[in-house]
Amino acid sequence: MYNTHDFKIPQESSDYTECSAFVIEKIESIITAAMDSGRNKILIDTNLKLGLPMENINKIAGPFVEAWAYEVFSEVIEDEKNTYDLLNVEAGERLNLADVILQFRRTRKRSDSVTGHVDVKATSKNIKNSGKSPNITSFARIRTEYVKNPDLIFIILSIKHSVYSTKNDKTNMMMGVMEVVDFNAYDLKYISEKDLSYNPALGTGQIQVRDIHYVTLNTRTVWEFCQLLDRKCISSKKGYNEWLRYAKQNHWIKDD
């Protein structure tokens, strides 16, 4: 039944793979430079005698790490010696597809720039399995975005942090230190099928990475990725009929 539909088949530009690799290389260089120069600490003052609640630190870490990443990219723009070809940085609004949107200078056939949409995921070094299988994005939303923009470069930036508390001798207050210790950056479209899962519990379902710390990459076209996402949805308890409802609602097929 699936193959009988007249699909709207997205086709990315011929240089998509090179642009994706370019964006990831720039992101990795910027984050690495921040870590190597000692700009990898987030200081959190608290009057709690025992410091930050370590057993629940993963619940509050996400917004701090996202803010840190945004500041690191913003500092590149402010630096007159900007060597990363970074042209613009925008913070994704609430419920936006991405947390940070980065525009880099790159000469292409029909453009002089390339844009990366970055989804920042925080994982704790102190807590076992922290952030191991995070929700990445809504199935219907990302599937629709790839139809609208086949050149969408959607990057998952997984940032691992370690947290500890230290006492300020002058104020006798506890200061929490959230230290970025490691990271990985992946293009969602290239994450292997076995590393992606589909959770049907929320809305149209959530795309998840089974273990964000260990990911295998496979190069594929945007249309191949859309079909992969469709298979994940159809093989879940949602089934074909629910997938078809999403397809018609979001105009993935021409025969609706």
Burial class (CB in 10 A: 0-12, 13-18, 19+), 170: exposed
Residue 131, pLDDT above cutoff 60 = no
Top pLDDT among 52 and 179 is at 179
pLDDT given at position 98 = 92
Edge-first strand order for the sheet with 41-46 is 41-46, 173-187, 154-168, 113-124, 100-105, 86-91
User: Residue 129's pLDDT is what?
Assistant: 58
How many helices (H) does the chain have, and how many strands (E)? 5, 9
Tell how strand 206-209 and strand 173-187 pair up.
Answer: unpaired
Least reliable range by pLDDT among 19-23, 158-162, 216-220: 158-162
Q: What φ, ψ does residue 213 adopt, rounded to 5°?
A: -80, -20
Confidence at residue 128, expressed as pLDDT on a 0 to 100 scale:
63
pTM: 0.91
User: What span, in angstroms and rounded, lies between the C-alpha atoms of 233 and 209?
Assistant: 15
Q: Whole-number mean pLDDT of the chain?
A: 89
Neighbour-count burial of 247, counting CB atoms closer than 10 A to its CB (0-12 exposed, 13-18 middle, 19+ buried) = buried
Query: pLDDT tens-digit profile of 106-124?
Result: 988 888 999 999 999 988 7
